[in-house]
Amino acid sequence: MTLGRLAATAATILTLLTVLIASTFEEDRETQGVATPVPVLSVSVTRATHSVLPIRVPAAGHVEAWQEASIGTEANGVRLIDVRVNVGDTVERGQVLALFDTDTVRAELAEALAAVDQAEAEAMEAEVNARRAKDLEGSGAMSAQQIDQYVAAAKTARARLDAVRAIALRSRIRLAQTRVLAPGDGIITSRAATVGAVVASGQELFRMIRDGRLEWRAEVVASDIEKVSPGQRARIVIPGSAPIAGTVRMIAPVIDARTHNGLVYVDLPPDRTLRAGAFARGHLDVGEGSSLTVPRSAVLLRDGFHYVMRVRPDSTVAMTKVRIGRDVGERIEIVAGLMASEPIIASGLGFLSDGDRVRVVAPPATGAGATSGDAP
């Protein structure tokens, strides 16, 4: 009986040892099967900083001529014989643009000058007769009525002389009008003059941008128009061209009742690549303000949204959607979605996804000082 109990006890102990050994072996095997996660990428981190950025008012509008000049002719009934400029030509004040036939006008001037000579001779004779009659006044040789007639004849002759001189002057002016001159410096934008045409007085022959000067007529929403004042800087972008800087010259005194926009006139620098009529978008710099910014390389555009990648305490990546604002130099404004105290990955975001483990190789940057600048 004693031997049976001993045997049962030994069997029980043996079974327990077998179970214990098997359990330990299974735990070791499971432990060996779990691999330590390997970081996907070594990264450096940074933090958003407050930067001084320009406050910008968006605007859009067309580039127009500062002033246009319509160049016509006052010569009437004469033939155009020469056109010396074309569209796109740069002209100077007084430059000859076109010539009319002068034969008829010169003949009229010669006739007027001959009439002047005749009238001068008649006026001289009448003056002499009037003086002689005046000398005989009171002698009884001539009556008072005859003397008055000579004096009146002298005055009539002088008036006739003035009249023919005016006709001669008009002929000289008409001769000068056969030369069409540029009223100022500028660029020819249209031409209606055709050689051989007999044009009527006042008909437009050319159109010109005065001084070649252009301006941007920018439409600004009514809520922003009060922020704009003369002298502020502006920047416009025309598709296919580099950005162009300008200066606000004046603000229209009325708001368009249909669009509810105000008009801002922006002076543009001389630039041969600019064309009147081009549509442009841009902004007006109306002040400065402090904003939260991050490096351009710390923002990822994916599926139409902007993201930054925060680093969790366990070194995993958390993709965070943010709303961006102004793009200034190498920094981008963050309008919403991120706090200044949160560490984010500084670069290499295109190689990472949400939940990836990373190795941080540099401490979070503290960002010294604010920056300001202009958009490229």
For the segment 74-84, what is each residue's pLDDT rounded down to a tens digit?
A: 888 899 999 99
Question: Could you tell me if 263 and 217 are in contact, meaning their C-beta atoms sit under 8 angstroms apart?
Answer: yes
Please tell me the pTM assigned to this model. 0.62
The token duo for 311 is 């680093």
Average pLDDT, the chain: 83
Quote the CA–CA distance of 14 and 3 in Å, as a whole number: 16
DSSP 274: -
109: how many CB neighbours lie within 10 A of its CB? Answer: 20
Q: Which of 1-15, 245-259, 306-320 has the highest mean pLDDT?
A: 245-259
26-71 pLDDT, tens digit each: 555 544 444 556 776 778 888 888 888 888 899 999 999 999 999 9
- Residues 184-206: tens digit of each pLDDT: 999 999 999 999 999 888 899 99
pLDDT tens for residues 204-239?
A: 999 999 998 999 999 999 989 999 999 999 999 988
- Picking from 324, 326, 291, the residue whose alpha carbon sits closest to that of residue 308 is 324
Most trustworthy range by pLDDT among 143-147, 277-281, 321-325, 368-372: 277-281
pLDDT for 290 beyond 50 = yes
Q: Are strands 358-362 and 344-345 parallel, antiparallel or unpaired?
A: unpaired
The pLDDT confidence band at residue 372, using thresholds 50, 70 and 90, is: very low
| Amino acid at the residue 138 | G
pLDDT above 90 (res 163) = yes
Task: Round to the nearest angstrom and report the end-to-end CA distance of the chain.
Answer: 101
359-369 residue pLDDT tens:
888 554 444 44
- Residues of the chain with pLDDT > 70: what percent? 85
Return the closest-CA partner of residue 85 out of 10, 181, 215, 175: 181
Higher pLDDT: 204 or 329? It is 204
Cα 95 to Cα 272: distance, rounded to the nearest angstrom: 21
Phi, psi dihedral angles at 14 (to 5 degrees) = -65, -40
CATH topology of domain 58-66+213-288: Elongation Factor Tu (Ef-tu); domain 3 (2.40.30)
136 phi and psi, to 5 degrees?
Answer: -90, 0
Of 78, 307, 71, the residue nearest 183 (C-alpha): 71
62 and 277 Cβ atoms separated by less than 8 Å = yes
Beta-strand pair 317-328/179-181: unpaired
- pLDDT of 350 strictly over 50: yes
Are the C-beta atoms of 275 and 281 separated by less than 8 Å? Answer: no
Rounded distance between C-alpha atoms, residue 340 and residue 362, angstroms: 18
Render 305-360 in DSSP notation, one character per residue. Answer: EEEEEEE-TTSBEEEEEEEEEEEETTEEEEEES--TTS-EE-S-GGG--TT-BEEE
Averaged over 153-169, what is the pLDDT?
Answer: 92
What SS3 state is found at 65?
Answer: strand
Tell me: domain 41-53+289-362, CATH 2.40.420.20, correct?
yes
